[in-house]
Structure 1
Amino acid sequence: MVLSLYRFNHPEQKRCIIFISEVARWWAVRFVSKTKHDSTMRKYNLHCLAIIIMLLVPGFGQSNTQGSFFEKTGLSLHRGRVVPHDKAINHLAKGAFLMKHLSLSGQVKGDHEWHTLYNYPELGLNFLYTELGYPEVLGKAFAFFPHIAFDLFSAPDFSMGHNQGIGIAYLTLPFHETTNPENAAIGSAVNIVYNMTLEARWVFTPNWTVYSGLSLTHFSNGRIKTPNKGLNIPAVKLGLGWNFSGNPAFRSAPEKNSYAMRPELITLISGGPSSTYPPGSSVSRRVSVQSTFHYPLNPKTGAGLGYDFFYSERKQSVGQDQTRSIWYNLHGLHIAWQQSFSKLSFIFHKGIYFHDKSNFNESLFYHRVGFRLNPFGGVVFHLALKTHFFQAENLEWGMGYKF
């Protein structure tokens, strides 16, 4: 659907698009064929992950209005291994394995001011496939995600940069209490994937580039279903890229006055489910109201302070196969950091509970990392993961208003 927004005039571009479309179609058919089991949670997973794409993909639409946006394709191999971060998953680290990574990308052209602020970054779409080193327990992973890439250093024939991407992943062997009890890391088939890469690029001809670097890939479901220890996979990357045109990127004059350096107050309501341990326990609900004051430090970033009200449910057993809901009120204060890309912003909050009489979360501090989209006026859509350090509590999705 996103790809249909662009014109693909070069025959090789069309072939790449057809290939990626077939991969996506195969993935969709495979997913749909497995949705009969635990259909309610799968539907929720898919809705949340669709919101991630909704939040991230608008960046492609802000990129180029002259011809096709996509100019490059790349194929990379990542050699990595599962690195346990919790003793409960030590047994899942069995050895190194290869991840296959296909990408399609293009450089922004300067037709929006944030393009020049970030020195013309690259946007792309990615497909990643891998076995996870323990095929009889962890199975395989298929992932699709958009990315943004920034240069740290650039010369005519050599550059260094970092890529950040987040999207949807399907893992073939999640935890099951009878058929796969050893998988203590992943409790659902549909997950969020996060990929970060630090790489060097050597341009050998106008069309061919070699990539080498380090990557980190993370799989997690945001505690929509337990277990959710997650998988962290550091890897060494080697790849080859092909530029369709072989020409330098076209850069037009940027928009003017699109960044008003003024403070803002954002207030929103969000919510989402949270699964508890042991696996198979009832899913409880989380609701939060948050208000954050941001002060711009520069056109890219802002910092601020905020307040959180959390309304959290806990299920209590009252008999065989029966539970009752108990609700807890929690209050917190957070410091905020925001990175802006026109209408899309990345946020990070670090908070402290100042009112938690029941010690509901058994933690003094909480964290929030995610995205906000301001499509028009003061309306804001919100998607974030709330955690207590490395332990996810729930995915938050909601909306609010920016004053």
Structure 2
Amino acid sequence: MNYNKLLLGLLFFCVLHLKCNAQSLEFLKADTTDSNKTYPRQIFGQTKIHFGGHFSTGVDGLEEVENNYFSALELRVGWKGYGRKKWHQLFGYPTYGFGLYQATFFPEANILGNPSALYGFFNGPFKTYNKWSLNYDLGAGLAYDFFGYDPKNNPDQTAIGSDFNFYLTVSVEGNFKISRRLDGSAGLLFTHFSNGRTRTPNKGVNLYGANIGVKYYFNPYIPKKGGVYIPKDKDPREKNIHYDLPEFHPFWEYYTFVSGGVSTSPYNIEDQNKYYGTATWAVDVARNYSRKGKYGIGVDLFYDGSLVEEYQSQYPNGVPNSKLFYPGIHVSHELMIHRFTVVTQVGVPLMNVEGRGGWYARVGGRYDVTKNIFAHLALKTPGGFIADFIEWGVGFRMYGKRNGI
């Protein structure tokens, strides 16, 4: 089968079925992102303390750290989404913002380091009651202060190869009201650090534990002429605003993206200056089933330069370029939060790929730059969720005619 023709055929099918009209802006959630700037911003500060343990990496030499506990401190500044924008209502009036994370691994003098992180977070309720709620909390950012593997200076630390890594944390927690200005929280957490195989080794560092926190609500501020902000003399907690949103009609969406990246050897961890190029071209068809989500199917064409290491024994005179490309087909779900989209996909390669297993996954995010153009950042993994490479890309989307219009 000619897989390039398959990709082009799917793209041509999508174009034939497009009808971009004045309602495209509504398709981009315009009816759920309106902002009334006369409403004040509800700002808060938050502190969290973490305590827990390590999942084992299986690396000899890290037992001293992994058999011990860790602690961490978070400092956050964020906003309460009480309905100043209509999409807040779709997610149960969430909170979101930015934070600083500092962990201490014991003993403090260790070969792994004591990582810090700068990150963004999103916290929304599963269920809200009178004075408390059961929430999920997601955070993602950049971690630093690791002692990465170095064949000369840190040869025993073969769990993670870079000083800078991606930071991801997920927790389920109860939030409860303490006073007019204070909220408390307590929950269970999972935290992951890795570099997406931009540097090997990359077994990752994984933590589990519990957290407790306290949140302080500042007075809301109303923008005035000349940029002066005047505090309102009222209860600091703004009441949630409810909107009667128009009926949603499902519609189709068609998009394509291209991405590039680099990866290192999955086997030779000592040659830290050896990089391979990677690339992806994908074409997708997705069905928007609500204002928050869509499911779809798509075709991928991957290029992975590191595959030369998988095939070099079979081709001692040089691996042909055709072995570095392979196609795949995937199914997907996407969660849309305003201009951000959380992407989860599972796929299968359409040919046997040495060393990459019988399936793959993609987890990442997209940001809508305009109604048609988006930025793409995702981690592509082979079977087993071991990092393959990071996709940095840009995409273009168009919309089909909405049902019932």
Q: Structure 2: how far apart are the matches of 1:71 and 1:172?
A: 32
Q: How big is each residue's C-alpha offset from its partner over 1:349-394, in whole Å with a ceiling of 9 and x where there is no partner?
A: 10101123xx333311100000111221311211000012320011
Q: Cα 1:390–1:154, aligned 2, differ >3 Å: closer, same or farther?
A: same
- CA distance, structure 1, for counterparts of residue 396 and residue 40 of structure 2: 35
**CA shift in 2, pair 1:89/1:156, >3 Å:** farther
Q: What is the alpha-carbon distance in structure 2 between the residues aligned to residue 182 and residue 255 of structure 1?
A: 60
Q: Are 2:363 and 1:369 aligned?
A: yes
Q: Which residue of 2 aligns with 1:387?
A: 381
Which of the residues 105, 116, 119 maps onto 2:89?
A: 116
Corresponding position: 1:280 with 2:270: yes
Q: Give the whole-Å Cα distance in 1 for the aligned partners of 2:238 and 2:348.
A: 46
Q: Where in structure 2 are the equivalents of 1:14-25 lying within 5 Å?
A: none
Structure 1, residues 287-330: CA drift from partner, whole Å, max 9, x if none? Answer: 11011111122221111111000122135699xxxx98853110
CA distance in 1, matches of 2:34, 2:54: 36
Cα drift, residue 218 of structure 1: 0.8
Work out whether 1:144 is the aligned partner of 2:140. Answer: no
Q: Deviations over 1:87-124 (max 9, x none)?
A: 66863513112111111122113243321111111112
SS in 1 for 2:251: coil
- Contact residue 72 and residue 102 of structure 2 kept, 8 A: yes
How many equivalent residue pairs? Answer: 337
Confirm or deny: 8 A CA contact 2:381 2:388 kept in the other structure.
Answer: yes
* Structure-1-length-normalised TM-score: 0.77
Alignment partner, residue 83 of structure 1: 55
CA contact (8 A) 2:262 2:277 kept: yes
In the alignment, which residue of structure 1 is the partner of 2:151? 177
Residue pair 2:36, 2:85 contacting (<8 A) in 1 also: no
More deviation in 77-86 or 346-355? 77-86
Aligned to 1:268: 257
For residues 24-39 of structure 1, the aligned pairs below 5 Å read: none
Q: Deviations over 1:16-42 (max 9, x none)?
A: xxxxxxxxxxxxxxxxxxxxxxxxxxx
Which of 64, 68, 71 aligns to 1:98? It is 71
The 3 A distance-change label for structure 1 pair 117 and 280 is: same
Q: Write the letter of the residue equivalent to 1:261.
A: P
Label 1:160 to 1:89 Cα distance change in 2 as closer, same or farther (>3 A): farther
- Which residue number corresponds to residue 74 of structure 1? 46
CA distance in 2, matches of 1:187, 1:95: 21
The residue identity in structure 2 corresponding to 1:311 is Y
Aligned to 1:156: 130
Q: Which residue of 2 aligns with 1:329?
A: 325
Q: Partners of 1:87 and 1:265 in 2: how far apart?
A: 44
Give a deviation string over 1:37-64, Cα, whole Å, max 9, x none.
xxxxxxxxxxxxxxxxxxxxxxxx9877
Q: Which residue of 2 aligns with 1:401?
A: 396
Classify 1:401/1:232 alpha carbon distance in 2 versus 1 (closer, same or farther; 3 Å): same
The change in CA–CA distance for 1:363 and 1:283 in structure 2 (over 3 A counts) is: same
Q: Matches of 2:319 and 2:143 in 1, distance apart?
A: 32
2:300 is aligned to 308
**Cα RMSD over matched residues?**
2.7
1:261, 1:86 → 2: CA distance?
Answer: 47
Q: Which residue of 2 aligns with 1:247?
A: 236
**Secondary structure in structure 1 of the residue aligned to 2:269:** coil
Residues 165/398 of structure 1: CA separation in 2 closer, same or farther (3 Å cut): same
Percent of aligned pairs sharing the same letter: 23
Quickly say closer, same or farther: Cα 1:190–1:62, change in 2 above 3 A.
farther
Structure 1 residues 200-279: aligned runs within 5 Å = 200-245=174-219, 247-252=236-241, 261-276=250-265, 277-279=267-269
Q: Which one is further off, 229-238 or 80-89?
A: 80-89
Once residues 351 and 386 of structure 2 are traced to their aligned partners in structure 1, the CA distance between those partners, rounded to angstroms, is 20
Structure 2 residue runs of 5 or longer lacking an equivalent are 1-32, 220-234, 399-405
Residue 130 of structure 1, aligned match among 103, 112, 115? 103
Q: Deviations over 1:331-355 (max 9, x none)?
A: 1010111111232211111010112
- Give the TM-score normalised by structure 2: 0.76
Higher gyration radius (CA) = 2
Task: Give the match's secondary structure for 1:364.
Answer: coil
Residue identity opposite 2:78 in structure 1: S
- Aligned residue for 2:133, secondary structure, equals strand
- Mapped partners of 2:102, 2:239: distance in 1: 33
Q: Are the structure 2 counterparts of residues 157 and 257 from structure 1 closer, same or farther at C-alpha, using a change threshold of 3 Å?
A: closer
- 1:150 and 1:162 in contact (8 A); partners too: yes
Query: Against the structure 1 CA distance between its residues 209 and 109, is the aligned structure 2 distance closer, same or farther, given a 3 Å change threshold?
Result: closer
Task: Please tell me whether the aligned partners of residues 81 and 133 of structure 1 are also in contact (alpha carbons under 8 angstroms).
Answer: no
2:24 matched residue in structure 1: none
The runs of at least 4 consecutive aligned structure 1 residues that moved more than 4 Å come to: 61-64, 85-90, 250-260, 315-318, 323-326
Ranges in structure 1 where 5+ consecutive residues have no aligned partner:
1-60
CA contact (8 A) 1:64 1:109 kept: no
Please report how far the alpha carbon of residue 223 of structure 1 lies from its aligned counterpart in structure 2 after TM superposition: 0.7
Could you say if the C-alpha distance between residues 291 and 63 of structure 1 is closer, same or farther in structure 2, counting changes exceeding 3 Å? Answer: same
For 2:252 and 2:305, how far apart are their aligned partners in 1? Answer: 34
Q: RCO (CA 8 Å, sep 6+): is it higher in 1 or 2?
A: 2
Question: 1:153, CA displacement in angstroms?
Answer: 2.2
Residues 259 and 138 of structure 1, relative CA distance in 2, 3 Å threshold: farther
